[in-house]
Chain A
Amino acid sequence: MQNKPIQLAALAALLAALPAAQAQDANALYVRSLAANCSNCHGTHGRAIDGGVVPGIAGMPAPYMVNQMKGFKTGTRQAAVMHQIAKGYSDAQIEQLAAYFAAQSK
Chain B
Amino acid sequence: MQRRSFVQGGVALGVLGLAGCATTGTPSKARVLVVGGGYGGATAAKYVRLLSDYKIDVVLVEPNDAFVSCPMSNLVIGGSRQIGEITTPYTGLSGKHGVRVVKDTVAGIDVAKKTATLASGATIAWDKLVLSPGIDLMWDSIAGLKDANASGRILQAWKAGPETVALRKQLEAMRDGGVYAITVPEAPYRCPPGPYERACQVASYFKAAKPRSKVLILDANQDVTSKGPLFKKVWADQYKGMVEFRGQHKAVAVDAATNTVKFEVHDEVKADVLNVLPTMRAGAIAVRTGLANMNARWCGVNFLTFESTVAKDVHVLGDSIQIAPGMPKSGHMANSQAKVAAAAIVAQLNGWPVNPAPMINNTCYSYVDAKNVIHVASVHQYVAAEKTFKTVAGSGGVSSAPNELEGTYAWSWARTIWADSLA
Chain A residues with a Cβ under 8 A of chain B: 1, 3, 7, 10-11, 14-15, 17-18, 22, 25-26, 29-30, 32-34, 36-37, 39-44, 48-49, 51-54, 80-81, 84-89, 93
Cα–Cα, bound, A75→B399 (Å): 15
Cα–Cα, bound, A7→B417 (Å): 29
Assess whether B416 is in contact with A43, with CB atoms less than 8 Å apart: yes
Q: Distance in Å from the Cβ of B381 to the closest Cβ of chain A? A: 7
Q: Distance in Å from the Cβ of B28 to the closest Cβ of chain A? A: 17
Cβ-neighbour of A87 out of B335, B342, B356, B379 (below 8 A): B379
Assess whether A14 is in contact with B353, with CB atoms less than 8 Å apart: yes
Residues from chain A with a CB closer than 8 A to the CB of B359 are: 34, 37, 88-89, 93
Residues from chain B with a CB closer than 8 A to the CB of A25 are: 350, 352
Kindly report which residue of chain B lies nearest to residue A30, judged by CB atoms.
B355
Assess whether A37 is in contact with B377, with CB atoms less than 8 Å apart: no
Assess whether B356 is in contact with A40, with CB atoms less than 8 Å apart: no
Assess whether B343 is in contact with A33, with CB atoms less than 8 Å apart: yes
Binding stretch for chain A, among B14-22, B30-38, B401-409: B401-409
Contact flag A81-B377 (CB < 8 Å), given A36-B47, A87-B394: yes
Give chain B's interface residue range (CB within 8 Å of chain A).
35 or more
Cα–Cα, bound, A32→B58 (Å): 19
Cβ-neighbour of B384 out of A10, A44, A49, A52 (below 8 A): A10
Assess whether B420 is in contact with A81, with CB atoms less than 8 Å apart: no
Cα–Cα, bound, A54→B405 (Å): 11
Cα–Cα, bound, A27→B397 (Å): 31
Residues from chain B with a CB closer than 8 A to the CB of A34 are: 358-359
Q: Distance in Å from the Cβ of B359 to the closest Cβ of chain A? A: 6
B340 within 8 A of A: yes
Q: Distance in Å from the Cβ of A22 to the closest Cβ of chain B? A: 6
Cα–Cα, bound, A33→B375 (Å): 24
For the complex with contacts A14-B356, A37-B336, A87-B394, 17 further pairs of A-B residues with Cβ separation under 8 Å are A18-B352, A29-B343, A29-B347, A33-B343, A33-B358, A37-B339, A40-B413, A41-B363, A43-B416, A44-B420, A52-B415, A81-B375, A84-B377, A84-B378, A85-B361, A87-B392, A88-B379
B360 within 8 A of A: yes
Indicate the member of B346, B352, B409, B417 with the most A CB atoms within 10 Å.
B352
Residues from chain A with a CB closer than 8 A to the CB of B375 are: 80-81
Residues from chain B with a CB closer than 8 A to the CB of A14 are: 353, 356
Assess whether A40 is in contact with B332, with CB atoms less than 8 Å apart: yes
Report the tally of A-B residue pairs with Cβ distances under 8 A: 137
Cβ-neighbour of B395 out of A26, A36, A44, A87 (below 8 A): A87
Cα–Cα, bound, A84→B398 (Å): 8
A-B contact pairs, 15 of them (CB 8 A): A7-B357, A15-B353, A22-B350, A22-B352, A29-B347, A30-B355, A40-B332, A40-B363, A40-B416, A41-B417, A43-B420, A44-B419, A49-B415, A88-B361, A89-B392
Q: Mark B310-352, 1 if CB is under 8 A from A, else 0.
A: 0000000000000000000000100110011011001100101
Assess whether A29 is in contact with B392, with CB atoms less than 8 Å apart: no
B211 within 8 A of A: no
Assess whether B363 is in contact with A85, with CB atoms less than 8 Å apart: yes
Residues from chain A with a CB closer than 8 A to the CB of B417 are: 40-41
Residues from chain B with a CB closer than 8 A to the CB of A7 are: 356-357, 384
Cα–Cα, bound, A7→B392 (Å): 15
Q: Distance in Å from the Cβ of B227 to the closest Cβ of chain A? A: 14
B412 within 8 A of A: yes
Q: Distance in Å from the Cβ of A77 to the closest Cβ of chain B? A: 15
B247 within 8 A of A: no
Contacting A at CB under 8 A, from B41-76, are: 46-47, 50-51
Residues from chain A with a CB closer than 8 A to the CB of B355 are: 29-30, 33
Q: Distance in Å from the Cβ of A54 to the closest Cβ of chain B? A: 5
Residues from chain A with a CB closer than 8 A to the CB of B10 are: none
Cα–Cα, bound, A93→B342 (Å): 20
Assess whether A84 is in contact with B416, with CB atoms less than 8 Å apart: no
Kindly report which residue of chain B lies nearest to residue A15, judged by CB atoms.
B353
Cα–Cα, bound, A25→B332 (Å): 27
Cα–Cα, bound, A91→B417 (Å): 26
Assess whether A54 is in contact with B381, with CB atoms less than 8 Å apart: no
Indicate the member of A29, A43, A86, A87 with the most B CB atoms within 10 Å.
A29
Cβ-neighbour of A53 out of B336, B342, B377, B409 (below 8 A): B409
Contacting A at CB under 8 A, from B207-228, are: none
Assess whether B415 is in contact with A80, with CB atoms less than 8 Å apart: no
B396 within 8 A of A: yes
Assess whether B397 is in contact with A84, with CB atoms less than 8 Å apart: yes
Cα–Cα, bound, A23→B417 (Å): 31
Assess whether B419 is in contact with A49, with CB atoms less than 8 Å apart: yes
Residues from chain A with a CB closer than 8 A to the CB of B336 are: 37, 40
Residues from chain B with a CB closer than 8 A to the CB of A36 are: 47, 339, 343
